Structure 1
Amino acid sequence: MEALWRALSRLQLADRELEDVLGEVTRLADEHVPGAESTSITLVRGDTAVTAAYHGDMSLAADELQYDRGYGPCLDASRAGIVLRVDDMTSEQRWPDYTARVVEVGVRSSLSTPLPYQGSSIGALNIYSTRPAAFASDASGEAAHEVAEAVAIAVANADAHAQLTDHARNMQRAMESRAVIEQAKGVLMAQRRVDADAAFDLLREASQRYNRKLRDIATGVVASTYEQPR
């Protein structure tokens, strides 16, 4: 576990695409979770589940078999927020259609650990093996839990960055809107010989009359002053 903790502590989140970070996490899981041979990360947004990253084609094939059916250990772990371990796909009874097919791609056992995020689950860390009971030890479950928390942190970091970017973009748009509205008010004050409040009322009335955004009306007023012949 110490080697896993050190590896996760060195994981760089800043200035990286989420896909790259999660790809590295799946590799670390393969290296440090006892029994792991192929690893994937399922993220669930609304009703849609996708494999955000994977290490080894076996995990991707196993995930997609579940997506096609709409159920399976990784999807059920995501939805219920519980750890689901399958020791032997050949005798597992909970998902008979899925288990019969997943054996064909080489999977004999699996471990799906939910990704905790703000009191709920946003997906699952899925670990697969060609051997039965590969994840029966406590060490496998503990290591998978540590990796799942790292995944949740990476996703939270990416979401926070996206929210900050959206906020900055909205602020920029608001500042641009305010600037063009002030310009339009100045034009109307000069043309109509009115004060600032009256100029703003003219803009607002035009916005309501033509069912257009105030900024668009203001942009048209400002543009018209530059289009007039000198």
Structure 2
Amino acid sequence: MEALWRDLSRVVLADRGLAEVLGEVTDIAARSIPGAESTSITLVRDDRGFTAAHTGELALTADELQYERGYGPCLDAARAGVVLRIDDMTTEQRWPDYVRRVVEVGVRSSLSTPLPYQGSTVGALNVYSTHPEAFASEESRVAARAVAEAVAVAVVNADAQDRVTEHARNMGLAMETRAVIEQAKGVLMAQRGVDAEKAFDILREASQRYNRKLRDIAVGIVAATSSGRSSR
């Protein structure tokens, strides 16, 4: 476990994409969780699951068999926030259609551990083996929880960065919108001899009359004025 904690603590989050970070974490999981032969991270957004990163094709194939059905241990672990372990796919009864197919691709046991911090995105760490009871030990479960915590931190960090980026973009658009509306008000004030409040009322009424955004009306007025000037 000390080696696992050391490797996880060295994962750099700053200035890296989420896919790159999670790819490194799945590699750590594959070599550090006892019994793991192939690992993946399932994320669920808008109730749709996808594999955000994986190490080994076995995990990706097993994940996608679940996405096709909309249920399975990795999806159910992510949505319900519970650890789901399958010791032997050949005798498992909870997901009969899924386990029958996944045995065909060589999976015999799996462990899905939910991300402990879940917000707009929920998910789970999945580990797979071609041997039965590969994850029956407490050591496997403790190691999987440690990796799931690292995944959760990375996802929360990425979501926070996305919110900051989106906020900055919205602020920029708001400033651009305000600027063009002010320009359009100035045009109307000059053309019609009205004050700023009346000019805004003209814009608002036009927006409602033509069922167009106020910004689009303003852009049209400013563009028409600029076109008229350039044609002279």
**Whole-angstrom distance in 1 between the partners of 2:120 and 2:227:** 56
Aligned residues: 230
CA-CA distance at 1:119 after TM superposition: 6.7
Letter aligned with residue 92 of structure 1: E
Deviation at 1:121, TM superposition (A): 7.5
Taking the TM superposition and a 5 Å limit, the aligned residue runs for 1:58-207 are 58-118=58-118, 122-207=122-207
Q: Alignment RMSD, CA only?
A: 1.7
Provide the rounded CA distance (Å) in 2 between the counterparts of 1:65 and 1:105.
10
TM-score, normalised via structure 1 length: 0.93
TM-score, length basis structure 2: 0.92
Identity of aligned residues (%): 73
Structure 2: distance between partners of 1:226 and 1:46: 45
- Partners of 2:167 and 2:190 lie apart in 1 by 35
Deviations 1:60-108 (A, max 9, x none): 1111222223332212212221111111222222223322322222212
SS at match of 2:35: coil
Shift in alpha-carbon separation, 1:38–1:222, aligned structure 2, 3 A? same
Contact 1:54 1:60 in 2 (8 A): yes
> Could you say if the C-alpha distance between residues 120 and 206 of structure 1 is closer, same or farther in structure 2, counting changes exceeding 3 Å?
closer
1:33 is the counterpart of 2:66: no
Greater mean deviation of Cα atoms: 89-98 or 143-152: 89-98
Distance, in Å, in 1 between the alignment partners of 2:82 and 2:35 is 20
| Cα distance in structure 1, aligned partners of 2:203 and 2:65 | 58
Moved more, 115-124 or 214-223: 115-124
Which residues of structure 1 form unaligned runs of 5+? none
CA distance in 2, matches of 1:206, 1:94: 61
Does the 8 Å CA contact 1:81/1:121 hold for their aligned counterparts? no
